Amino acid sequence: MFLRIDHVGIACHNLEEKIEFYESTFGLVVVSREVNQEQGVKEAMLHVADGDSGASYVQLLEPLHPDSAVGKYLSKRGEGVHHIGYGVPDVAKAMADIGAKGVRLIDERPRHGSMGASIAFLHPKDVGGVLTELVETSRH
Ligand code: CMX
Ligand code: CO
């Protein structure tokens, strides 16, 4: 069902500071920066590695406002890992297959994610406390 870990989403208070940290400490390179109003985030994707089924990234997330998903997370838990994004060949099919197993889908239908991807979230309470994202990349 899963092709790879597409990205790990990390919640932070200051995107520019965290980009600087990841660049200078790990040598990662920013390949995309976006503001996603629907998700309530300002974000950057940093390339980690390429694999046979596509690339993997770190996604740094700064909330646009305190009552967004990432804003609430930061105020409750502080900075850290916010979600895991798995690459899937077909997000609508993955949603149907996983939903049929009783896992709550946060999204009724796929929405727009970073770099033109189609994404959907699974409820963390049904995945052992891990907010889980399904990612169908735009190029495959
Ligand atoms: N990981 C694990 N658990 C989480 C969580 C996370 N990231 N975010 C919230 N929770 C838990 C909370 O701790 C809380 O648990 P308790 O009741 O035991 O305290 C419970 O889920 C409810 O949390 P809440 O703060 O009341 O928040 P909401 O229910 O309003 O929203 C969620 C939670 C997961 C439905 C919401 O964050 C969501 O829809 N997320 C998906 C969208 C998203 O995260 N977008 C940003 C990333 C965009 C991208 O990757 O491109
Ligand atoms: Co993500």
How many Å lie between the centroid of ligand 2 and the Cα of residue 101? 22
CA–centroid distance, 52 to ligand 1, in Å, is: 31
User: What is the complex's ipTM, to 2 decimals?
Assistant: 0.98
Other beta carbons within 10 angstroms of residue 58's beta carbon come to 19
Ligand nearest to the CA of 121: 1
Ligand 1 pocket: which of 73, 107, 135 to mutate (most atoms within 8 A of CB): 73
Domain holding 88, by residue range, is 4-136
Which residue owns the Cα nearest ligand 1 atom 12?
73
Q: Which tokens sit at 109?
A: 């239908």
- Strand intervals (E) in 22-131: 29-36, 41-51, 54-63, 80-87, 111-112, 118-122
The CATH number for 82's domain is 3.10.180.10
Cβ count within 10 A of residue 131: 19
Residue 139: is its pLDDT beyond 70? no
How does strand 41-51 pair with strand 54-63? antiparallel
| pLDDT single digits (tens) 105-132 | 999 999 999 999 999 999 999 999 999 9
Predicted pLDDT of residue 138: 87
Question: Which of 15, 62, 104, 131 maximizes ligand 1 atoms within 8 Å of its Cβ, making it the mutation to test the pocket?
Answer: 131
Vertex 33: Cα angle to 139 and 123 (nearest 5): 70
Distances (CA, A) of 99 to 6, 88, 93, 95: 20, 15, 10, 6
* pTM of full prediction above 0.95: yes
Per-residue pLDDT of 87-100, as tens digits, reads 999 999 999 999 99
Give me the half-sphere count of Cα atoms (radius 13 Å) on the Cβ side of residue 70: 27
Domain count for the chain? 1
Please give the number of the atom of ligand 1 that sits closest to the Cα of 73: 8
Atom 18 of ligand 1, residue of closest alpha carbon: 125
Structure tokens at 80: 């850290």
